[in-house]
Amino acid sequence: ATSGTLSATFSITAIAGTSALSQNFTTASQTVGNNIPLEICLKDGFDNPGSGTVLWSLLEPLPAAASLSATSTPIDLQTGSASVVLTIGTKTGDYMVKAQVNGHTATFTITSDAGVVTEMLKGYTASTAAVNTTLPLTIGLYDSYGNPVSANVDWQAQGLATTSTQTINGTATLEWTLGTHTGIYEITASYEGRIATFTITAAPGTPTISQNLSNGSGTVAKNITLEVSLRDGFGNPCPGTITWSLIEPLPAAASFSAVSTPIDLQTGSASVVLTIGTKTGDYLVMAQVANYAATFTINAMPSGNLDTNTISGTSTGAAIAGGTMTFTISLYDEYGNAVQNGSVDWTVTR
């Protein structure tokens, strides 16, 4: 201000007005174990930088230990900003950081994601199961810190198209049903070049026993072959050893070619030769394996060889001219069994 030769000067320092706090983000995401810069800005309504020192702190609970590059940073008087670097912990989840200055508070929420897959783990699966059984196959995907990774896993079974399943908490599951034939099945799981193979042996299912005959007939002192089959509902041969036994009483002593015979794993069958005794009647044979049994009934018929020394006959009636006589004759085979069927030729000699 001047008046004549006089003057006065006023010096007024303009300071920032009422300030407000802003931040470079409120929520963000970053991979576990990595750094992320956090920044706040303190300015008034005319964009003038404020002043002060920002206090930084981590808010508990944390998924894992994390750290800040500094616990306090001064506001840059040229830009009004202050920043810090957060090193995220090794576990996924939300990490929260609080910034305070001059009564103002800002909160950052950083969601940490799993890193790249470094480990692919097979879940337990039985190495052997019955045919047509449904098995849950599982694959786990994890990063270098053991965090489960969300991703799609591709599954490939023999002769079938590829299918994909999404991981849940890092685990992908495939419900796989074995075929109806016994043998080895392989299913592969793959993710970005990583491959895991499941090898499962399909065993026969619940067996059923069957036989080549239930009731049969044969000739005394001759051989007859008895056969049983042990297969599951899909026709797969089942392993085992058949035990053969004669069921008393017997018309006469009989014998087997073996008392036990293994089941042929190609056909599912086992057989034995029964030598029938020398007397007619029913011979009963039992075949057993585990809790399964089959019974054979063999009706032994007389031999075709007559024993002429045992032919006997009787006669009744009057042996007079014009009289009637009845003649009866009995026939026996070589073992003394009465021959029930056949014909006799009669001749009269005068």
Give DSSP secondary structure letters for 15-41: ---SEEEEES-SEEEEETT-EEEEEEE
Q: How far is the CA of 324 from the CAs of 316, 317, 321, in angstroms?
A: 9, 6, 9
Q: Tell which residue, 15, 24, 8, has the closest CA to residue 51.
A: 15
What's residue 2's pLDDT?
Answer: 84
**Segments in the chain below pLDDT 70:** 14, 16-17, 307-319, 321-322, 342, 350
Q: What is the DSSP string of 123-160?
A: PP--SEEETT-EEEEEEEEE-TTS-B---EEEEEETTS
Q: Count how many residues are written for the chain.
A: 350
**The one-letter amino acid at 295:** T
> pTM of the prediction?
0.73
What's residue 345's pLDDT?
Answer: 78
Cis ω before 249 (30° cut-off from 0): yes
What's residue 310's pLDDT?
Answer: 57
Instruction: Tell me the sheet residues that pair with 215.
Output: 297
What's residue 159's pLDDT?
Answer: 78
What's residue 346's pLDDT?
Answer: 77
What's residue 318's pLDDT?
Answer: 63
d(CA 227, CA 246): 15
Tens of pLDDT, residue by residue over 110-158, are 999 999 999 999 998 889 999 999 999 999 999 999 999 999 999 999 8
d(CA 22, CA 239): 78
Q: What residues have CB less than 8 Å from 90, skipping those under 6 apart?
A: 32, 33, 64, 65, 145, 147
- Report residue 167 as tokens: 């991981």
d(CA 97, CA 102): 17
